[in-house]
A and B are shown apart, each in its own frame.
Chain A
Amino acid sequence: DADVTQTPRNRITKTGKRIMLECSQTKGHDRMYWYRQDPGLGLRLIYYSFDVKDINKGEISDGYSVSRQAQAKFSLSLESAIPNQTALYFCATGELAGAADTQYFGPGTRLTVL
């Protein structure tokens, strides 16, 4: 079984709709992250969380919100989707100590906003 899972894997929606992307992990890591990937721009950080009570904005948080429901679950919401949020979204996890900089990625969610 995969250590980091994301649902859905693909989603097509319309402008103005509310969308939630979910991430679950069995790695036991405290840190969780949401990124988006656009061609030629690499991965850009949307939000990150270092524990259940800690939520932080990344470089491109506008238009997004997150919820850390448990250590293992971190969801990303688009309150009112717009076409330029069409992208590949990745959830990632990381340890709090040890090799603390290494992050492990889920399989991604391809979101298309029409």
Chain B
Amino acid sequence: EDKVVQSPLSLVVHEGDTVTLNCSYEVTNFRSLLWYKQEKKAPTFLFMLTSSGIEKKSGRLSSILDKKELSSILNITATQTGDSAIYLCAVAGGTSYGKLTFGQGTILTVHP
């Protein structure tokens, strides 16, 4: 059974701090790892990672995949209150193409 574990489950920081969120996975026939941000309601897509060691970057957010360690990190620098959200990690793999297995999510709270 495919498994995705995120840590920490929750994190409270102050504006300006840098945070690192972790995602580890066990999945057969790994294809990709995705990060989503969920504020209020619908998860919105951040990154998709398929190759080890190649950083994806968008503004203050960046992410990298380590296939050897079966893990990924999501970094947020100079955090702002608008970064407060649940960050979800999901992995695509297995025998059924197009299915994602999600982790529990990390709840990030950024205080002013």
Q: Do A and B bind each other?
A: yes
Interface residues of A (CB under 8 A from B): 4, 31, 35, 40-45, 48, 50, 56, 58, 88, 90, 94, 96, 99-108
Q: Is B81 an interface residue (CB 8 A)?
A: no
Contact B42 A45 (CB under 8 A): no
Q: Which of B32, B97, B99, B104 contacts A42 (CB 8 A)?
A: B104
Contact B9 A40 (CB under 8 A): yes
Number of A-B residue pairs having CB atoms within 8 Å of each other in the complex: 57
Binds A, one of B43-51, B54-62, B71-79: B43-51
Chain A residues closer than 8 Å to B36, beta-carbon distance: 105
Known A-B contacts A40-B104, A41-B104, A43-B88; the reply to A104 vs B45 at CB < 8 A is yes
Contact A43 B43 (CB under 8 A): yes
**Chain A residue, CB-CB nearest to B92:** A101
**Chain B residue, CB-CB nearest to A88:** B41
In the complex, 20 of the A-B residue pairs with CB atoms within 8 angstroms, ordered by the A residue number, are A4-B42, A35-B102, A40-B104, A42-B88, A42-B103, A43-B102, A44-B102, A45-B100, A48-B99, A50-B98, A58-B99, A88-B41, A90-B43, A94-B98, A101-B98, A102-B34, A105-B43, A106-B42, A107-B41, A108-B42
